[in-house]
Structures are given as C-alpha cells and as structure tokens.
A and B are shown apart, each in its own frame.
Chain A
Amino acid sequence: MSLRQLDAITFEEKIYGNEETCLIIFSRKSCHVCKQVVPVLEELQPKYEGKFGFYYVDTEENISLFQRFSLKGVPQILYFDSGEFRGKQAGLVDEEKVEGKIATILEA
C-alpha cells in the first residue's frame, strides 16, 4: 500500500495536533535512492497499523517543510512522537534499521 502524502497543513495536524507516533519520509521523484527506500516503508506499514504511522512528503512540492528541518538531501526518514522530533535516518536504509528505530520509540 502506498504511503499517505502529507503537505504543510496535514503535517501540522498529524505531528503537532494529534501528536501521532509516526515516521515521515522526505523524498522526491528524481531520486533513485528514494525509489529503493520508499518500497521498504510501504511493505512495513501494514505490520504497524494502528501503532505507528507512515507518511510521505514530496520535498519539491513542500519546500517550506524541508527548510524548516534544514534537511540537506533525500531520502530522509524523520521520526516523531508526542509532537517531538525523535531522530532521523538518511540515505539508503533497510527495514532492520527502520524497525530498530521504531522499536526504541515504541518502547520509550
């Protein structure tokens, strides 16, 4: 299942309004590394249904979000919990790294 896309407004709502426990991948269409990481997240998503959210931000369409976190490249996965930034992973990451990070956030 493809990841739910966020824009500046829905981002605000999910992260700071609902204080969701979730990850967001910052990606762009012309990035081949992103094309490898996004499917990893799509595959993991169902396993965490109801426990951990999976979202997608297109950096070309949402420059303000990108600048806000002063990111310098894609793909980057940002993690949030209770409205707080809980870390990020850059570049080519595999499911073990993502699941490891999710586990530490869920256990905290």
Chain B
Amino acid sequence: MEDAKQSYDLIVIGGGPAGLSAAIYGGRAKLRTLLINKGALGGMVDTTREIVNYPGTINVSGPDLMRDFIKHAESFGVTFLKDEVVSTDFAHDRKKVTTKKKKEFSAKAVIIAAGNEPRLLNIPGEKELQGSGVAYCATCDAEFFEGEDVVVIGSGDQAIEEGMYIAKFARKVTIIVLHDEGILDCNKVSAERALSHEKMEFIWNSTIEEVLGVGEDSVEAVIIRNIKTGKSTELACQGVFFFVGMIPSTRFLQASGLEMDSRGYIPVNEQMETNLEGVYAVGDNRIKYLRQVVTAASDGATAAVAAERYIEEQDDFHMNVLQSQKKVLLLFFDAFNQESLELSALLEEVNLDLPENYRIVKIDMATKKNLARKYQIEKVPSVLLLDKGLEIKRLDCYLDKDKLKSQL
C-alpha cells in the first residue's frame, strides 16, 4: 500500500507566484495539495524591490506581495515542503517525484513551476571572483560598492533598474550593451531615466570577455570587446554585476520524457498541459510571451483547474469503468449535438431489452477531453464497448434500435 502521508492529489513544484497561485486554486478545489520549494518561497518576485503593475495593488514590494500569496495558500490547507525535486517519474497514472533529501511523493497530477535562474556568461574570472567583486544581486551587494566604479552587463529591465539602484552607492556605473547606441532592451520609462542619469555611462555594441582580479580577492578591471570592431579594451572597476538574462530551472526534468525546447523551456497548450498527461507547466519555465507576476498567477490558476478536471475524470473513470463488474458502453456525447442526445436515449432503451445488460457511462466531450484522447475519439456520438477498460469494439452509431441491438 502507498504511504498515505506521501500521497497527494496534486504536487506543485516551485513556490513563486505561478506555483503559489496553482496551490491556492488546488487547495480551494479541495485537492490534497503539496507544494515543494527548494529555497525561500516567493521565487524571483522575492528579489524584486518594487512592483507597480500587479492589478489592484498600486505599489508593493516583492516579498510583501509574496507573503500574501503564501498566507492565501496556507488558508486553503496547502502543505508546504522545503526540499528540492531531483528526479521524476511521470510514466504512470500516479506521478512520482523524488527529492534531494531522498523523500518520495506521488500525486495524480503535477504542476511544474520551477521558474528560471540567472544565466552565467562562463567567462574567465566570473566564477573565481564571485563574492569578491562579481555579483548577481544588487539588493544584496550594491552597498558594498560605496564610492567605487561598477560595471553592469546587460540592458534588460533587471540590468537597467538594478544599475540605477547600484548608482545610489557607486561613484560611477558603466553599462555594457550589446546593441547600437541608444538601444536598450528594458522598458521605456527606465531607459529614459538611465540614459539621462548623471552617474551612468554606456558602452555600446560591446560585451565582456574577462574579469581581471588581484588573485581571487578583488576585481580590478574587465576586458570589454566591441563586437563590431572586434577590438578589446580594459576598463578599471571594483565591481561587476551580471544581468545577462535567465535560463529555465528545468534540468531536473531532462530524463522525464517531458518535451522542452533547446533552451529548456516547456511548451504547453492553452490549458497549460505538457506532452505528458496530468503534467502541467506554468510561469517562467514555460514558453510564453510575457513573464510577469500577473501572467504567472494566471498560468497557475489555469493549470490547477485543468488538473482538477483531469483528476476528477481519472477518478470517475477508475470507479465506473475500470472497476466495473459489468461490461461498459462508453458513450461520448456533446450536449449541443442533437444526434448524440438521441443516441444516448436509444442506447438506454436497447440496454434494458438485453438479457445481460451493460453499464452505460456517458462522457461529455466538451469537458472530458483526456478520455476522448485516450480512446482516440474524434466525433460525437461515439460508442465503445469496454471490458475493464479494454476496448472490445466500436459500435456503429445508427439511430435505429435494431441496428444498434444487433451489434451487442
């Protein structure tokens, strides 16, 4: 028997806004929900000083907003576990996950909300000088560069906004930008503020190829390469902040059979379904247009509702079809399809006349798409004769009592 303590309806991997929203919806739907998160709850939002575009909340800090998400999930009885999922087994109806602390959990559905993490440039000096001048978090480290010269690499929202924060402390902040003069990847408001900032300077069409240090104790310069001219120059500085984009934190899924693109992002459909039944991907680790708190929350809600319906379908199917003593007539219908409604009535009638009658199970195609997919049903009405879930035959759907009866 499975250990009841380790068995859930829904497991959510990741505790950022997408995972927490999924947990809120899962908990509210009375699903036994477990949220596994490796670090502090709140995900990347927890590192955001100010959020001004979460609808209904004019200005809030990332940690404060996430505290409310967490409280909300707790109020619906969600179980939280601080651990890291290292491997998964999604091949069966009960999905399994194994954690770093060697615990195993299983659930009927899994929602992956693992988010993403800063990309490393993997250039000489980057790793060696981390903590000695190379940094990735302005909130954590900006103050240590009071009155010094700092280089920032990148021009996205994070690079420019964090750069302006660093400028509160540093003497000078030099931003290294890949693009032509004047072009920044960040939002327009931040771009205008940064371009006119008295402490900020820009080096265009460039990237950095090495961080130079005094041993491994401190940074003394970076080597900047102009990608147009190919020329390298040295710029003295005491600090280097890397903001060169993000990569999805989906490496633990590499052997799961889950489809991913070349960078590791997971493709999903409108219901957040992955290529594996009962497995959903939400938030920053999926392929999407806009990565914001509001879209993460939306993903989480969608996936949890899709998972809830999937679980209900699975449970019904187990009880009424797989465990049925009688053979089952599985009818796929659609309430808007007159023919399928007539066939439904006719099937009931025929069944009453049979000496050894069947159990009739009706499946609404509009909501129960997973079963239709499982039996490769493409049109309504369709009728299958099943024994313990195995297909014996497909009936021809005549709206004629005798023709129907003759097939049974």
Q: B144 contacts the other chain (Cβ, under 8 Å)? A: yes
Q: For the complex, give the distance between the alpha carbons of A8 and B130 in Å.
A: 25
- Interface range for A: 20 to 34
Chain B, 193-223, contact with A by CB distance < 8 Å: what is the 0/1 string? 0000000000000000000000001110000
Chain B, 43-68, contact with A by CB distance < 8 Å: what is the 0/1 string? 00011000000000000000000000
> Nearest-CB distance from A46 to chain B (Å)?
15
User: B135 and A36: CB pair below 8 A?
Assistant: no
Q: Which residues of A contact B139 (CB under 8 A)?
A: 30-32
| Contact for B140 among A34, A39, A70, A88, CB less than 8 A | A34
Residue among B40, B238, B239 with the most chain A CB within 10 A? B40
Chain B interface: which of A15-23, A47-55, A72-80, A97-105? A72-80
Q: For the complex, give the distance between the alpha carbons of A76 and B130 in Å.
A: 10
Q: Which residues of A contact B133 (CB under 8 A)?
A: 72-73
Q: How many A-B residue pairs have CB under 8 A?
A: 62
Q: Is the interface of B mostly helix, strand, loop or mixed?
A: mixed
Q: B387 contacts the other chain (Cβ, under 8 Å)? A: no
Chain B interface residue count, CB cutoff 8 Å, equals: 23
User: A88 and B40: CB pair below 8 A?
Assistant: no
Chain A residue at minimal CB-CB distance from B136: A91
- Could you pull out 28 A-B pairs where Cβ atoms are within 8 angstroms? A28-B140, A30-B140, A31-B140, A32-B40, A35-B46, A36-B38, A36-B40, A66-B144, A70-B217, A70-B218, A71-B131, A71-B132, A71-B144, A72-B132, A72-B133, A72-B145, A72-B219, A73-B131, A73-B132, A73-B133, A73-B140, A74-B141, A75-B140, A76-B131, A90-B131, A90-B132, A91-B131, A91-B136
Contact surface of A with B, Cβ cutoff 8 Å: 28, 30-36, 39, 66, 70-76, 88-91
